[in-house]
Amino acid sequence: MHVYLSPMNIILNQIHKVRYIILYMEDLQDWIRAIEQTWIVRYPKQKLATFGITNIAYYVVTEPIYREFEQGGQEGVVRKGRVLAEKPTIITPTYAMNLEGFRPEAYEYLKQISLNMGPQHPGILYKYKNEPENFEIVKGEPSEIAHNIADDLEKKDQDLSVVMVGVDEWWDVALLKFIYEFTSNSASSNLQEFSSRGLLNPQKSFGGAPKAAIDRIEKLFNEASSMEDRDDLKSELDRWGLFKHYESRFLSLYNRRT
């Protein structure tokens, strides 16, 4: 899962691809219903870390789908797992358009950002990984179960935990909705922290690329001791559109002994 954020706009990438094909096969109203019936009982107490990994425990509570066909006492399905957010990365439209995996609409949007704000206009790329753990059936009404879990987490000071109520057959929609909102709410503070360290500052001698890009490239040059390292460096230079700026230095790497 990826999210690209510019200071002014938000782009969702593979978050939506989870249901991309299914939306063509099933009634779009199911998706809309899942969004409308999904709500977050407890948000994490912390925002996404700017310079590190964020590990969030999640609990998605739903009414089991079989309840539509069976009578009996109230039950809820509690799905547990973790969402791992990698360290946010500063990128630009130029860089993003050289990445694979974005939806066509995202590339069109990035082209517009490039035209309107410049090809080196800085934004943030967020990458997420979902690690499902287990699920259990619990007696009670889903909302009540969710609040009980939230209360227990509060007592244990579990600051990086989220509790949600969703629709059983579309339970992952709850997770995607949370990721979208959590990212949006964290973006401004992440941008402020990047800015305070000068990482967004355009480097005129490198076509206006942000300082973070130059720092990353310098790090890769220092680590380029093998062919694989050099391939990674070449790919990074191409993504930033900066190979011409570093061509002589890059080619000189092949004069070294490996």
**CA pair distance 84, 58, nearest whole angstrom:** 11
102-155: per-residue pLDDT in tens?
A: 778 778 888 888 898 899 988 898 888 999 999 999 999 999 999 999 999 999
Range with lowest mean pLDDT among 25-29, 70-74, 227-231, 239-243: 25-29
Instruction: Using the CB atoms, write b or e for 90-126: b if 16+ within 10 Å.
Output: bbbbbbbbebeebeeebeebbeebbeebebbbbbbbb
pLDDT of residue 164: 96
pLDDT of residue 20: 37
pLDDT of residue 103: 72
First to last CA, the chain: 36
Q: 243-252 and 211-223 helices cross at what angle (nearest 10)?
A: 20
Sequence-ordered strand ranges (E) for the chain:
2-5, 10-12, 39-42, 54-63, 75-85, 89-91, 123-139, 161-167, 202-203, 209-210
Query: What mean pLDDT, rounded, does the chain reach?
Result: 85
pLDDT of residue 172: 86
The yes-or-no verdict on residue 162 having pLDDT over 90 is: yes
136-149: per-residue pLDDT in tens?
A: 999 999 999 999 99
Share of the chain above pLDDT 70, in %: 85
**CA pair distance 231, 255, nearest whole angstrom:** 15
The yes-or-no verdict on residue 58 having pLDDT over 90 is: yes
**What phi, psi does 166 have (nearest 5°)?**
-140, -165
pTM of the model: 0.80
Going by their DSSP bridges, the two strands 161-167 and 54-63 should be labelled as parallel
* Distance from the Cα of residue 215 to its chain's centroid: 22
What are the residue ranges spanned by the domains of the chain?
2-196, 202-255
199-245: per-residue pLDDT in tens?
A: 999 999 999 999 999 999 999 999 998 999 999 999 999 999 999 99
